[in-house]
Structure 1
Amino acid sequence: MTLYRRAPAMTGPLERLLNPATIAIVGLSDKSPVADFIAPTLNSAADIHFVHPTAETVLGVPAHRSISDIDGPIDAVLSVMSAERTVALAEECADLDCGGLVVYAAGFSELGEEGAGYQQRLEYAAARGGMAVIGPNSLGYISVPRSLHLTASADYHPAPGGVSIVSHSGAMIGGIAIAARARTGVGISRLISAGNEATTDVADYLDFLATDPDTTAIGLVVEGIRRPAAFFDAARRCIAAGKPIVAVKLARNARTQQMAASHTGALAGNAWAYDVTFRQVGIQLAYDLEELVDRLAIVSQLDPAMRKPVQRIGVVAGTGGFASLAFDVAEAEGLTLPPLDSLADWVAATIPGITVPNPLDTTGFGATFWTDIVDRYVGSDELDAVLFVNMWSDSPLYRRLIDDVAVAARRYGKPVVIAAGSGDVGAFATEVIGTDGAVALGHGIRGSLRGLHTLGTFARDRATVRDAVDAPAPIARPSVTVDSADGSRFLPFRDIMALLEQFGIPTAPYAVLDGEVGDQDTPAFPGPYAVKLADVAHRTELGAVALNVSAADLADAVARMRAIAAQHGVSPTVAVQPMTSSRGELLIGIDGRSELGPMVMLGLGGIFVEVLQRIGGRPAPLAKADAEALIEEFRDLRLLHGFRGAAPWHLEQLANTLVGLGNLAAAGQEWIESLDVNPLLVTEDGLVAVDALCIVRQ
Structure 2
Amino acid sequence: MLLEHILKPRAVAVVGASTRPHTIGSDLLKRLMEYGYKGGIYPVNPKGGEIEGLTAYKSVDELPAGVDLAVLVVNAKFVLDTVDACHRKGIKGLVVISAGFKETGAEGAALEKALLERVRAYGMRMVGPNCLGVVNTNPDVRLDACFAESLPVAGDIGFVSQSGALGGGILNILKDLNVGFAQFVSIGNQADVNAETALEYWENDPDVKQILLYMESIPNPENFRRLATRISKKKPIVALKAGRSAAGASAASSHTGSLAGGDRAADALLKQSGVIRELSLCDLFATAKVFSNCPIPKGDRVAIVTNSGGPGIMATDAVCEYGMQMAPITDETKAKLREFLPAAASVKNPVDMIASAPLEHYRKTVETVLADPNVDMVMVIYLPFLGLKDIDVAKALMEIREAHPEKPLVGVFMTTNEFFTTLSNMKVTVPFYMYSEDAADALRRLNDQRLWIARPEGVVPELAVDEVRTLAIFKAAAAEGRRELTTRESLDVLDACGVRICRSGMAHSEDEAVKIAETTGYPVVMKMTSKTTSHKTDVGGVRVGIANEAELRAEYRDLVAKLEARGLLDGLEGVLIQEMVKSKRELVTGIATDPQFGPMVMFGLGGVFVEVLKDVAFRLAPLTDQDAKDLIHSVKCVKLLEGARGFTPAQMDKVEETLLRISQLAARHRFVKELDINPLMVSDRDGEPIAVDARIAIDPEAVLKL
TM range (shorter): 0.7 to 0.9
Q: Calculate percent identity across the aligned residue pairs.
A: 25
Distance in 2 separating the partners of 1:579 and 1:48:
79
| Residue aligned with 2:243, SS | coil
Deviations, residues 406-462 of structure 1 (Å, cap 9, x unaligned): 357635832223453356867988999x99xxx634343444433332222212211
- Per-residue deviation, 1:339: 6.1
Q: Which residue of 1 aligns with 2:238?
A: 246
- Per-residue deviation, 1:320: 4.7
Q: Which residue of 1 aligns with 2:693?
A: 691
| Deviation larger for 531-540 or 207-216 | 531-540
* 2:350 is equivalent to residue 359 of structure 1: yes
- TM-score of the pair, normalised by structure 2: 0.83
Q: Is the 8 A contact 1:40 1:147 kept in 2?
A: no
| Deviation larger for 575-584 or 409-418 | 409-418
Name the amino acid aligned to 1:479. K
Inter-CA distance 480–122: structure 2 relative to 1 (3 Å threshold): farther
Q: Which residue of 1 aligns with 2:491?
A: 497
Deviations, residues 200-233 of structure 1 (Å, cap 9, x unaligned): 2211111111122221111111212111122122
* 2:622 is equivalent to residue 627 of structure 1: no
Distance in 1 separating the partners of 2:638 and 2:230:
35
Distance in 2 separating the partners of 1:561 and 1:499:
27
- Per-residue deviation, 1:370: 4.4
- Per-residue deviation, 1:561: 4.6
Alignment partner for residue 541 of structure 2, among 536, 539, 544?
A: 544
* 2:461 is equivalent to residue 461 of structure 1: no
| Residue aligned with 2:646, SS | coil
Name the amino acid aligned to 2:690. V
Distance in 1 separating the partners of 2:360 and 2:301:
26
* 2:278 is equivalent to residue 286 of structure 1: yes
Q: Is the 8 A contact 1:158 1:188 kept in 2?
A: yes
| Residue aligned with 1:64, SS | coil
Q: Is the 8 A contact 1:236 1:465 kept in 2?
A: no
Distance in 2 separating the partners of 1:605 and 1:183:
46
* 2:189 is equivalent to residue 188 of structure 1: no
Q: Which residue of 1 aligns with 2:475?
A: 479
Q: Which residue of 1 aligns with 2:326?
A: 337
Inter-CA distance 561–636: structure 2 relative to 1 (3 Å threshold): closer
Distance in 1 separating the partners of 2:668 and 2:406:
48
Distance in 2 separating the partners of 1:672 and 1:100:
43
- Per-residue deviation, 1:244: 0.7
Name the amino acid aligned to 2:626. A
Q: Is the 8 A contact 2:615 2:637 kept in 1?
A: no
Distance in 2 separating the partners of 1:519 and 1:636:
39
Q: Which residue of 1 aligns with 2:253?
A: none
Give unpaired runs (5+ residues) of structure 1.
Answer: 1-11, 258-267
Q: Is the 8 A contact 2:137 2:182 kept in 1?
A: yes
Distance in 1 separating the partners of 2:212 and 2:275:
10
* 2:649 is equivalent to residue 648 of structure 1: yes
Distance in 2 separating the partners of 1:392 and 1:216:
34
Distance in 2 separating the partners of 1:609 and 1:520:
30
Distance in 1 separating the partners of 2:628 and 2:31:
51
Deviations, residues 68-97 of structure 1 (Å, cap 9, x unaligned): 332435422211123222233234445553
Q: Which residue of 1 aligns with 2:704?
A: none
Distance in 2 separating the partners of 1:178 and 1:325:
32
Inter-CA distance 152–582: structure 2 relative to 1 (3 Å threshold): farther
* 2:69 is equivalent to residue 76 of structure 1: yes
Deviations, residues 461-502 of structure 1 (Å, cap 9, x unaligned): 112152663788999692244799xx9922343443232123
Deviations, residues 71-125 of structure 1 (Å, cap 9, x unaligned): 4354222111232222332344455533232122333223332122112101211
* 2:23 is equivalent to residue 33 of structure 1: yes
Q: Which residue of 1 aligns with 2:613?
A: 612
Within 5 Å, give how 1:375-386 maps onto structure 2: 375-386=367-378
Give unpaired runs (5+ residues) of structure 2.
Answer: 250-259, 702-706
Distance in 2 separating the partners of 1:65 and 1:405:
53
Inter-CA distance 479–405: structure 2 relative to 1 (3 Å threshold): same
Inter-CA distance 317–647: structure 2 relative to 1 (3 Å threshold): same
Q: Is the 8 A contact 2:506 2:513 kept in 1?
A: no
Within 5 Å, give how 1:250-269 maps onto structure 2: 250-254=242-246
Name the amino acid aligned to 2:268. V
Distance in 1 separating the partners of 2:222 and 2:672:
19
* 2:503 is equivalent to residue 509 of structure 1: yes
Q: Which residue of 1 aligns with 2:440?
A: 449
Name the Cα RMSD after superposition. Answer: 3.9
- Per-residue deviation, 1:254: 4.7
Q: Which residue of 2 aligns with 1:20?
A: 9
Distance in 1 separating the partners of 2:660 and 2:313:
45
Q: Which residue of 2 aligns with 1:676?
A: 676
| Residue aligned with 1:309, SS | coil
Deviations, residues 625-678 of structure 1 (Å, cap 9, x unaligned): 32222222345663222122221232221111111111112112x222221111
Q: Is the 8 A contact 1:135 1:193 kept in 2?
A: yes
Distance in 2 separating the partners of 1:570 and 1:148:
74
Q: Which residue of 2 aligns with 1:112?
A: 105
Deviations, residues 333-385 of structure 1 (Å, cap 9, x unaligned): 55443464735566567323223633333321333544532332111122111
Q: Is the 8 A contact 1:310 1:455 kept in 2?
A: no
Q: Which residue of 1 aligns with 2:56?
A: 63
- Per-residue deviation, 1:21: 1.4
- Per-residue deviation, 1:147: 2.9
Distance in 2 separating the partners of 1:322 and 1:284:
27
| Deviation larger for 327-336 or 622-631 | 327-336
Name the amino acid aligned to 1:542. V
Name the amino acid aligned to 1:680. L
Alignment partner for residue 160 of structure 1, among 106, 129, 154?
A: 154
- Per-residue deviation, 1:161: 0.8
